[in-house]
Structure formats: C-alpha cells, structure tokens
Amino acid sequence: MPKSLLLFTLLAIQGCSGAGAWMSTSSLGDYNPLTVPTVDIEKYKQDKQACYKQVQSQTDANMSQNYNVVKFRECLIQKGYVLLS
C-alpha cells in the first residue's frame, strides 16, 4: 500500500471517529493547524501561541491573510512540527 494512501486512510478514520480532536487546540485566529499525534500537546499549544504572537507583531493581525498563515506555519515548522493542515 502506498504511503500516501495509508496516511489518507488514517486521517479519514480519525476524522470519522472524532479521534482527530486531540490534534487540534483552541483556535488562534482564523487558522488552526493540526499536527501528528506524537507531539506533546501542551508544548505544541505554547509554541502555537508564541508563533501567533510573533506573526502578529511583525504583520497585520488578520491571520486569515495568506502571508500571515504562511509565516505562522513557517514558525511552527522551524520549531520542528509536522503540520497536517
């Protein structure tokens, strides 16, 4: 089975069962990325808040703008996270 098909199946099962909820945290603006299940959720929440504040301080506070979303994702990726959305 191809790796991408396996990942898609896993995500579909999690979405249907509600198991994906643990990957999500409270919304930070309009964009709330999900990550893999192996991360420390509390640390991820803290890092998301820090990245959100960093982007807000550097740009317009509207997180729905593509540029801001890209900067927010970039910050989380630089911290070592794998983002699923």
What is the structure's pLDDT at 58? 86
- pTM reported for the whole predicted model: 0.62
Query: Is 82 within the bounds of a domain?
Result: yes
- Cα distance between residue 77 and residue 10, in whole Å: 22
User: Domain for residue 54, yes or no?
Assistant: yes
List, for residues 3-21, the tens digit of each pLDDT value.
555 555 555 554 443 333 3
Residue 7 falls inside a structural domain? no
Tell me, yes or no, whether 4 lies in a domain. Answer: no
- For residue 17, being part of any structural domain is answered with no
Interacting residues of 24 by C-beta distance below 8 A, sequence separation 6+: 32, 34
**11 lies in a domain?**
no
Euclidean distance between CA atoms 51 and 8, whole angstroms: 28
Please report the pLDDT score of residue 46 as a whole number.
96
| % pLDDT > 90, the chain | 35
Decide if pLDDT at 51 tops 90.
yes
Q: How many residues does the chain have?
A: 85
* Predicted pLDDT at 17: 38
59 in a structural domain:
yes
Full residue range of the structural domain in which residue 61 is found: 25-85
Q: What domain count does the chain have?
A: 1
For residue 47, being part of any structural domain is answered with yes
Closest residue by Cα to residue 23 from 38, 12, 9, 13: 38
